[in-house]
Amino acid sequence: MMRAPGEMEIVRVEKVVKETATITTIMFSPVYLGRWSSLVPGQFLMIWVPGVDEVPMSLSHIRKQPFRLGITVQDIGEATNSICALKKGDRIGIRGPYGNGFTLPSLEEVDTIMGVSGGVGAASTVLPMEWAHTEGFRTVNLVGARDSGLLLYRGRWESISESVHYSTDDGSFGHHGFVTDLLKNELSEMTVEDRERTMVLTCGPEVMLAEVKKVMDLFDVPGQFSLERFMKCGIGLCDSCSMSGRRVCMDGPVFHGSEVSELKEFGKYQRDRSGKLVPLKECVR
Amino acid sequence: METPRIDVEIAGIRFPNPFILASGIADETGASMVEAVRMGAGGVVTKSLSLQPREGHRNPCIVELPYGLLNAMGLPNPGIQGYAEEVAEYFRSTKGSNPIIGSVFGSTVEEYALAAGRISDMGVHAIELNGSCPNAKGLGLQFGQDPMVIEDLVREVKDAVKVPVFFKLTPACSNIASLALAAQIGGADGVVAVNTMPAMKIEVRTRRPLLTNVTGGLSGPALRPIGVRCVYEIASSGRIRIPIIGVGGISSWEDALEYMMAGASAVQIGTAVTWGNLAVFGEMTEGLLTFMKEERIRSIQDIVGAARGVE
C-alpha cells in the first residue's frame, strides 16, 4: 500500500567526528520525528549536500534523548568528499529512512548473532549488532579493514560483544589476513548444535561478502547481507540499483542469504550510471 | 456469472489485463520487467532509450511531495544496443506472454527513427515515442508541443518499423486533442496520455531549486485529474480514431476506471509502483474483477468511454 512520502528535511550538522584519516561521522537532529519512530537498524538515508550531490548512507548512530542521527562516511569521491568536509552548522538535506533494515530472529531459535564487518561496512552492522546485544543475544563481532587506521568503532564493539576479533590486510592490527579467515575459525570451533543457533549479519566490500557467503554456505549458517549498488532515487523508481530484478533501495539493502543466492549479479556485476551491466569494482561509486 | 473479461486489444496487440508498467519506472533491466509481469502487469514499457548511452542528471533527481513526485532523471539509459540483453532476458523469461513496448527518444527525427528501428529489431511488440519528457534539454518535449513536428516524427518512425507506434503526449499544451490528431495523421496506432507535467521545487532554507536540473516532471496523485481531463478531451474531440492509453497518477482500480471511462483503452502505472510496490498490479486486477462482477459488466471494453456523452 502507499506509504507516507518522504519529503526532504533540512538539518544542520551538529557534530563532526574524524574516525580515521579518511572516515568521518556526521551527526544531526531531525525536527520531524514521526518518520523516525519506526527506524530499523540497517535502513539508509539519502543525504543531500546542496550544490554537490545526494547519496545513500546507512545510519550508523541513533541517540534517543535528545534524538540524534549519525552517518559514517569514507571519502572515496566527490560526494563523500563533500560530506567529510562538512563543518558544524552546515546545512544538509535528509530524506528517509529507506529500505528494509536487518531483522533479528527469535531468541528461541537463535542465541548467537555474529557480526562480520569489512571496512566502512561497519557503519551498517554496528547498529544491528548493538540491537542484538540489547535484545539479549550472545554477540560475536569480527571486524576487518585494510589497515589499523581504517578499523572503526573499537569502543562500541568492545562494549557490546562477548568476543570481538580484528583483522587487517596488512597485519597492522589483529589477525594478518581477511575477516573471512576469522569467520572460518569461529564457525569451525563451534559445535554443530551451536552453529544451528547462529546467525550472521554482514556488510563490507562485495568481494568480501561473496567470500562470507561461501563460508556461510559451507557451514550451513544463515545470515543477512547489506548490499550496495549505484543508487539515484532511493525509492524504487529509477531502477538504477537493480540486481536480478530486485531493487536494492526497496527490496533491500538487506537480503537474506537465501535471497542472495538468487541474485545472479552478486559478487560479479554491477550497473553503471547509464544502467549498463559492468564487472563489479571494489567500490560502487 | 462467469469471470468478466479484462483482456484488451490495442492496435492488434493483446494484453491479458489493461494495467501496463509505465516507462521509466523499475524497468532498467529485463529481470525487473519480468518481475512486474510476475506481479500482474499486463505488459511493460521499457525505460526510454536513445542511440547513445546517457548517464542522466546528477542527484537530487527526485523530490517526494505530499501530493506527487517530481523527477528529473535526465533519461539515463545504456543506449539501445546496451539494452539488447535486457529485452532478450524479458523474452527468455516471459516467452512474450505479456507485450513489451519499446520507448525511444532522440534529438532529431532521424535519431528517433533509427532508435525505433533498432528496438523493433529486438522483437518488441510496439514502439512508444517519448515526445514529451520535460527533463532533458533538446530531447523529447521540444518535439511534443508542435503538431507539425509530431506528424513528421510519427511518419518517419512509421516508415522505419513494422510494429505499431504510439506517441506519448505532454499535458503541457493548450490543446491536447490537436496534438493527438497530429499523431493520428502521421500514422500513429495510438496515443499515450499523459507524460509528467513540468514543475519545480525550491528549497527555501538553502534558497535553491532542489533538483539539480532545476525543473522536473510532476507525477502521482496531483497529475491524475489533469491526465483524466486530457484523455477525456482527446476522446471527446470526435476526431481521434486511434486508441488512447491513459497514464498519470493511477494507483488503484478506481483511478484506472476514471481514465477508461474518459476514453482510455488501457492504462499505465508508474509512481504507484514506487510509492507502493509491484503488488499494485495484482491488487488492481482483483479490485477491478470484483467491481465488474458487482456491476455485472462482462467485458472491460464495455467500460471504455462510459463517462462520455452523459454530461
- The per-residue pLDDT for A32 is 80
pLDDT per residue as tens digits for the range A236-279: 888 899 999 899 999 999 999 999 999 999 999 999 989 989 99
Q: Are B45 and B23 in contact (CB under 8 A)?
A: yes
Q: Of chain B residues 14-53, which have a CB less than 8 A from chain A?
A: 24-29, 31-32, 34-35, 47, 53
pLDDT confidence of residue A34: 78
Question: What is the spatial distance between Cα B268 and Cα B249, in angstroms, rounded to a whole number?
Answer: 9
* B138 — pLDDT class (breaks 50, 70, 90): low
Q: How close, in Å, is residue A148 to chain B by CA atoms?
A: 34
A273–B56: do the CB atoms touch at under 8 Å?
yes
**B301 has pLDDT over 60:** yes
CB contact under 8 A, A5 and B24: no
Closest A-chain CA to B75: A274
pLDDT digits (tens, 9 = 90+) for A90-127: 999 999 999 999 999 999 999 999 999 999 999 999 99
* Chain A: residues touching B (Cβ < 8 Å): 1-3, 5-8, 10, 46, 48, 50-51, 53-55, 91, 93, 95, 232-240, 242, 244-247, 250, 271-277
Chain B partners within 8 Å of A57 (Cβ): none
Average pLDDT over residues A158-184: 96
Write out chain A residues lying below 8 Å of B284, CB-based.
Answer: none
Of the candidates A53, A234, A239, the beta carbon closest to that of B27 is on: A239
Q: Which of A1, A10, A275 sits opposite B276 (nearest CB)?
A: A1
Task: Using the predicted structure, report yes or no on whether residue A2 has a pLDDT greater than 60.
Answer: no
User: Is pLDDT above 80 for A282?
Assistant: no
Which residue, among A94, A101, A92, has the nearest Cα to A40 in the 3D structure? A101
CA dihedral B29, B33, B34, B40 (to 10 degrees): 160
Is the CB of B55 inside 8 Å of chain A's CB atoms? yes
pLDDT value at residue B132: 75
Task: Nearest chain A residue to B281 by CA: give it.
Answer: A1
Do residue A242 and residue B26 have CB atoms under 8 angstroms apart?
yes
The Cα of A153 is separated from the nearest Cα of chain B by a number of Å equal to 30
Q: Tell me, what's the pLDDT at A71?
A: 97
pLDDT in tens, B35-87: 999 999 999 999 999 999 999 999 999 999 989 999 999 999 999 999 999 99
Q: Which residues of B touch A10 (CB under 8 A)?
A: 203, 205-206
State whether A245 and B69 contact (CB < 8 Å): no
Q: Point out the residue among A10, A55, A239 whose CB comes nearest to the CB of B32.
A: A239
Query: How large a percentage of chain A has pLDDT more than 70?
Result: 97
* pLDDT tens per residue, range B216-250: 999 999 999 999 999 999 999 999 999 999 999 99
pLDDT for position B140: 64
Three-class SS of chain B: CCCCECCEEECCEEECCCEEECCCCCCCCHHHHHHHHHCCCCEEECCCECCCCECCCCCCCEEEECCEEEECCCCCECCHHHHHHHHHHHHHHHCCCCCEEEEECCCCHHHHHHHHHHHHHCCCCEEEEECCCCCCCCCCHHHHCCHHHHHHHHHHHHHHCCCCEEEEECCCCCCHHHHHHHHHHHCCCEEEECCCEEEECEECCCCEECCCCCEEEEECHHHHHHHHHHHHHHHHCCCCCCCEEEECCCCCHHHHHHHHHHCCCEEEECHHHHHCCCHHHHHHHHHHHHHHHHCCCCEHHHCCCCCCCCC
Chain A residues touching residue B27 (CB < 8 angstroms)? 239
Q: Is there a contact between B62 and A273 if contact means CB atoms under 8 Å apart? A: no
Q: What is the pLDDT of residue A5?
A: 53
Higher pLDDT, B88 or B311: B88
Contacts of A2 in chain B (CB under 8 A): 251, 272, 275-276
Q: How many interchain CB pairs under 8 A, A with B?
A: 138
Q: Which residue of A has its CA nearest to B83?
A: A276
Instruction: State whether B28 and A48 contact (CB < 8 Å).
Output: no
pLDDT at B134: 67
Q: What is the pLDDT of residues B80-126, one digit of tens each?
A: 999 999 999 999 999 989 999 999 999 899 999 999 999 999 999 99
Q: Which of A236, A244, A277 is the closest to B277 by Cβ?
A: A236
For residue A52, the model assigns a pLDDT of 95
Predicted local confidence at residue B139, as pLDDT: 67
Give the position of cell 521499457.
B46
Is-catalytic flag, B230?
no
At A281, the pLDDT band (50, 70, 90 cuts) reads confident
Contact assessment for residue A117 and residue A179, using Cβ atoms and an 8 Å cutoff: yes
Q: Which residue has the cell 518481475?
A: B35
Closest Cβ–Cβ partner in B28, B205, B275 for A2: B275
pLDDT at B135 over 80: no
pLDDT at position A283 over 50: no
Write out pLDDT tens, residues A127-148: 999 999 999 999 999 999 999 9
Instruction: Test A274 with B76 for CB contact under 8 angstroms.
Output: yes
On average, the pLDDT of chain A sits at: 93
Mean pLDDT score of chain B, rounded to an integer?
Answer: 94
For the cut 60, the answer to whether the pLDDT of residue A1 exceeds it is no
What's residue B42's pLDDT?
A: 98
